[in-house]
């Protein structure tokens, strides 16, 4: 029964395992934008904000928001990353592409590692798992091994190995993730907080996947 719950948990939080998150790469942009965005609150501006909130929170058709963005293109700078992130979470990579590309252009020089990680999220949304894995493995070599992003990237690598049904590599990645968490207590705490459901934690997931991958290898 616990194995079934863990499988359900991974599927439910697949965006965590594969994606988390496009918005990470956009944080730098958000900091700049919200500090500099001083457009007067015109009626069209308020309409655009309302359309964004209704699409994000109430599931209204994207066409209304798209129309509002055409009338107020500067709002894409403010909301583009969040729009792309939602499409990625819904596995609608094609719809996310244009918004994502615009964000990448703004953040690449300031946060290259986070941008590459976010580009991997888009590859995953487009189901290009092999290219996403290649990108994640390459990125791993460029990251500080004590950084939080390194931990997120290890989770992504292990999950992509699972998606590609390569249990030996998945097992090795999970063991490396365990070592990372053991040696980086603060980062480990953040990862565990990001992934839990009731009494089930990231540690439970790792143990579950190690057992499953070990049986296949």
- 193 lies in a domain? yes
Question: Is 104 among the domain residues?
Answer: yes
Alpha carbon distance 61, 194 (integer Å): 29
Total domains in the chain come to 1
Residue 133 included in any domain: yes
Is residue 69 in a domain? no
CA distance 77 to 150: 27
Q: Using only the alpha carbons of the chain, give its radius of gyration.
A: 19
β-strand partners of 200: 197
Q: Given pLDDT bands bounded at 50, 70 and 90, which one contains residue 7? A: low
Q: How far is CA 65 from the centre of its chain?
A: 23
pLDDT digits (tens, 9 = 90+) for 100-136: 777 777 766 677 888 888 888 878 878 888 999 999 9
Asked whether residue 139 is assigned to any structural domain, the reply reads yes
Q: Would you say residue 53 lies in a domain?
A: no
Q: Six-digit token pair at 83?
A: 């729009």
With bands split at pLDDT 50, 70 and 90, how would you rate the model's confidence at 170?
very high
Range of the domain at 212: 2-37+74-216
Phi, psi of 214, deg, nearest 5: -65, -35
Quick check: is 161 in a domain?
A: yes
Note the pLDDT tens digit of each residue in 10-39: 554 454 444 444 444 444 444 444 444 444
Do residues 19 and 121 lie in contact, with contact meaning Cβ atoms separated by under 8 Å?
yes
Domain annotation covers residue 47: no
Whether this model's pTM surpasses 0.75: no
CATH code at position 191: 1.25.40
């Amino acid at each position: 029964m616990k194995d079934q719950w863990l499988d359900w948990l991974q599927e439910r939080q697949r965006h965590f395992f594969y994606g988390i998150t496009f918005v990470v790469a956009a944080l730098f942009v958000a900091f700049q934008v919200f500090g500099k965005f001083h457009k007067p609150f015109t009626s069209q501006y308020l309409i655009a904000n309302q359309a964004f909130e209704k699409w994000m929170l109430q599931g209204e058709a994207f066409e209304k928001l798209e129309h509002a963005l055409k009338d107020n293109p500067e709002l894409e700078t403010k909301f583009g990353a969040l729009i792309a992130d939602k499409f990625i979470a819904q596995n609608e990579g094609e719809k996310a592409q244009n918004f994502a590309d615009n964000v990448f252009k703004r953040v690449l020089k300031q946060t290259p590692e986070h941008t590459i990680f976010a580009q991997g999220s888009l590859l995953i949304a487009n189901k290009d798992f092999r290219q996403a894995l290649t990108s994640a493995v390459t990125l791993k070599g460029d990251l500080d091994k004590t950084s939080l992003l390194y931990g997120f990237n290890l989770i992504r690598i292990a999950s992509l190995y699972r998606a590609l049904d390569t249990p030996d590599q998945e097992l090795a990645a999970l063991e490396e993730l365990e070592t990372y968490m053991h040696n980086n207590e603060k980062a480990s705490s953040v990862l565990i907080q990001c992934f839990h459901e009731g009494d089930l934690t990231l540690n439970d997931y790792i143990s579950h996947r190690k057992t499953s991958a070990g049986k296949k290898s």
